[in-house]
Amino acid sequence: MALQFSPDRTLAMRKPKSPEANRARILAAATTEFAERGYDAASMDAIAGRTNTTRALINYYFGSKEKLYLSVLQQAYAEIREAENELRLDDLAPLEAIRRIVEFTYDYYVAHEYFVRLVVSENQAKGTHMKRSPALRRLNRPIVERLSAVIERGRAAGLFRSDIEPLDVHMAIAALGMFNVTNQFTFGTIFQREMGAKGDVAHRRQVVVDIVLTWLGSTRAAARSRAH
């Protein structure tokens, strides 16, 4: 009697071609699916359909839905942290460095709404999946370390107050920037103001810059930032 092999077992016996390209396509499709529908509602079949592949191939590369989701989160956070690294904050004067990171963060959320949606989705899941990834905690430490260095230089120059915690600064920048995306429809509808990528983005971004710089203890810095 001939042995019968399921598609999953057959796939496992032969290595697919172009593994890196396949992984990249699956990650891109999974990012869209998870960002649009959240973890629970996201469909592995839909991800397979987006890539003209099979669930078996997805499991071959990632192992499970949750492992694929964590790979999506890791890539999403890695991308923003890598982009922040390109800002070279240590090469800038403290006021300019803070202004640069606030503007960058605000613009990044506008241009990468999928990232904001992924963050919201994982918060709705109470961080259940992220807790299983120590790599995500390590991945996100550098931005706080960079902010700490900038703040210390600002304190030494007499620009920033002494009781500011770098993590609080990072949280404030992220919160003020994300609000523009996460609440764009509710806030926009209630107050009849264009939000997200629409309307006067430059003005809204400058407001956040002013808030952060003033809070850091430099009203003069906020005024100076408007001149740029």
Distance CA 52, CA 17 (A): 14
Tokens 């396509």, residue located: 25
pLDDT at res. 92 = 96
Mean pLDDT of the chain: 90
pLDDT digits (tens, 9 = 90+) for 103-150: 999 999 999 999 999 999 999 999 999 999 999 999 999 999 999 999
Which has the closest alpha carbon to 11: 43, 45, 53?
53
Distance CA 133, CA 73 (A): 10
Distance CA 35, CA 182 (A): 12
pLDDT at residue 193 greater than cutoff 60: yes
pLDDT at res. 83 = 97
User: Cα-flanking dihedrals φ and ψ of residue 144, to 5°?
Assistant: -70, -35
Tokens 């808030």, residue located: 211
DSSP state of 112: -
pLDDT at res. 173 = 98
pLDDT at res. 18 = 79
Which has the closest alpha carbon to 181: 167, 198, 206?
198
User: For residue 64, how many other CB atoms are within 10 A of its CB?
Assistant: 11
The residues, ordered by sequence, that sit 6+ positions from 218 with a Cβ below 8 Å of its Cβ are 95, 154, 159, 160
pLDDT digits (tens, 9 = 90+) for 139-153: 999 999 999 999 999
Q: What are the chain's domains?
A: 15-63 (1.10.10.60), 73-226 (1.10.357.10)
pLDDT at res. 99 = 97
pLDDT digits (tens, 9 = 90+) for 142-182: 999 999 999 999 999 999 999 999 999 999 999 999 999 99
pLDDT at res. 155 = 95
pLDDT at res. 19 = 85
Instruction: Note whether 214 and 157 are within 8 A (CB).
Output: no
At 218, the pLDDT band (50, 70, 90 cuts) reads low
Instruction: Note whether 89 and 151 are within 8 A (CB).
Output: no
pLDDT digits (tens, 9 = 90+) for 8-55: 444 443 555 778 999 999 999 999 999 999 999 999 999 999 999 999
Long-range contacts of 223-226 (CB under 8 A, 24+ apart): 224/95, 225/95, 225/99
pLDDT at residue 219 greater than cutoff 60: no
pLDDT at res. 228 = 57
Distance CA 215, CA 86 (A): 26
